[in-house]
A = this chain, B = another copy of it.
Amino acid sequence: MNLPLGFRYSAVYAGIRKVRKPDLALIVSDGPAQAAAVFTTNRVQAAPVVVARRHLEETGGVARAALVNAGNANCATRTGERVALQTTKAAARRLGCRPAEVLPASTGVIGVELDARLIVNALPELAAGLAPDRFLDAADAILTTDLVRKTAFAEVGGVRLAGMTKGSGMIHPNMATTLGFVVTDAAVPARQLRAHLRAAVERSYNRLSVDGDMSTNDMLLVMANGASGKRVSREAFQKALDEVCQSLAKQIARDGEGAKKFVEIRVDGAASERAAAQIARCIANSPLVKTAIAGSDPNWGRILAAAGYSGVSFDPSHVDIFLQGVRVCRNGLAAPFDESGLKQALDRNEVEIHFVVRGGGTGSAVFWTCDLTHGYIDINASYRT
């Protein structure tokens, strides 16, 4: 873990969540960093999303810090915007920067007022604890129902990237209950950073689904402070950012609520990448496919049926389907395979579904999800109470 230069991190327990573990994180760049973010497209947007977007517009893409709390989404709250503004302002005062240079982010329960004082009162300890080596503490503090910490790192041409993310339910393509923060000491202008981020998200977070639900709070932020003093090519930087974002996205699928198995869906032979992704998305979102995977049942008929309602046009009689590399469907029909051998292979905690339209186009896509188990229901039947 080689962290980017010029960033410091901190985390404390501010009393926002019931369980006594850190729920407030601060990520700070020593100098002004170029910043870009993508946000949820949900019609209902949490106050921190509204405020962070506005702050980025105000500064034209410059940020010093992200102030992140877990345990309360600060969404559908009477005081939401006031709380987001008040807390970022207090943090700015302590960091000696403009309020608009602090970006708020929240995750947790919706519709419960967030007490700004909890955050404001915790700020002295939070700021005092800032240190370059506390990246993992911050990564832990942003988790909610996650079972494991999610981080990813990359290095290219003397430039370092470090990413942390959270999320395991309410996960859907086009951003969902996930927060992600990537810091880098590369020097990349905000405008270019936005393009890099959009491209990276398209093939990482937007290729991820746990339950098809899209949240009100999603945000993925990249801050680039240039502290490395090194320059890398656009291609090299994009590749490194892709790597970090894809690693983070896959970790979310792997830690999907109740998930026992990580599922990678590859689609080849569609008319376009977009069409391939659309087929993959429908397979990934099908509860029938996901429960079959949970039960190690090579029920390829459900995969074919899910592709069939994707809205993408294809000829079913040209479709081959592979599970764990074993062909189970050929030309849209049952292919002979060793049933007990494949069942065993499906018992592994990594499952690959490969959907091929033979003689089709060159459109390919990869998509990640997980199986659907009792655990998902246990976690979500009483999350709020």
Q: How far is the CA of A212 from the CA of B212 in the complex (A)?
A: 10
Q: A371-385: which residues lie under 8 A (CB-CB) from chain B? A: 372-374, 376-377, 380-385
A332 contacts B76, C-beta separation under 8 Å:
yes
When the two chains form the complex, which single residue of B109, B287, B299, B377 contacts A301, counting CB atoms closer than 8 Å?
Answer: B109
Q: How far is the CA of A170 from the CA of B314 in the complex (A)?
A: 21
A216 contacts B42, C-beta separation under 8 Å:
no
A383 contacts B306, C-beta separation under 8 Å:
no
B301 contacts A380, C-beta separation under 8 Å:
no
How many A residues face the partner with a CB closer than 8 A? 66
B305 contacts A214, C-beta separation under 8 Å:
yes
Residues of B within 8 A of A198 (CB): none
Q: How far is the CA of A288 from the CA of B42 in the complex (A)?
A: 15
Q: How distant is A179 from chain B, measured CB to nearest CB, in Å?
A: 15
**A286: nearest chain-B partner, CB-CB:** B213
Q: How distant is A152 from chain B, measured CB to nearest CB, in Å?
A: 26
What 1/0 mask marks residues of chain A from 350 to 385 whose CB sits below 8 Å from any chain B CB?
Answer: 000000000000000000000011101100111111
Q: How far is the CA of A384 from the CA of B213 in the complex (A)?
A: 27
Residues of B within 8 A of A211 (CB): 287-288
With A212-B212, A287-B212, A301-B111 in contact, is A308–B377 under 8 Å at CB?
no
- Does A119 belong to the interface (CB within 8 Å)? no
When the two chains form the complex, which single residue of B44, B312, B313 contacts A307, counting CB atoms closer than 8 Å?
Answer: B44
Q: A293-334: which residues lie under 8 A (CB-CB) from chain B? A: 294-295, 297-302, 304-310, 312-314, 316, 329, 332-334
Name A's interface SS.
loop
A44 contacts B213, C-beta separation under 8 Å:
no
Q: How far is the CA of A44 from the CA of B75 in the complex (A)?
A: 41
When the two chains form the complex, which single residue of B214, B288, B313, B329 contacts A170, counting CB atoms closer than 8 Å?
Answer: B288
**A382: nearest chain-B partner, CB-CB:** B295
Q: How far is the CA of A110 from the CA of B214 in the complex (A)?
A: 31
Q: Residues of A with Cβ closer than 8 Å to B?
A: 41-45, 73, 75-78, 109-113, 169-170, 172, 211-216, 285-288, 291-292, 294-295, 297-302, 304-310, 312-314, 316, 329, 332-334, 339, 343, 372-374, 376-377, 380-385
For this complex, 30 residue pairs linking A to B, each with C-beta atoms less than 8 Å apart, are A41-B309, A43-B310, A43-B313, A44-B304, A44-B316, A73-B301, A75-B301, A76-B332, A78-B333, A110-B302, A110-B305, A111-B329, A111-B334, A211-B287, A212-B285, A213-B286, A213-B288, A213-B306, A213-B309, A214-B308, A215-B305, A287-B380, A288-B380, A291-B380, A292-B384, A295-B382, A297-B384, A299-B384, A301-B384, A373-B377
Given contacts A76-B332, A111-B301, A214-B305, 10 further A-B contacts (CB under 8 A): A41-B309, A42-B305, A44-B304, A77-B334, A110-B302, A211-B287, A215-B305, A291-B381, A299-B383, A299-B384
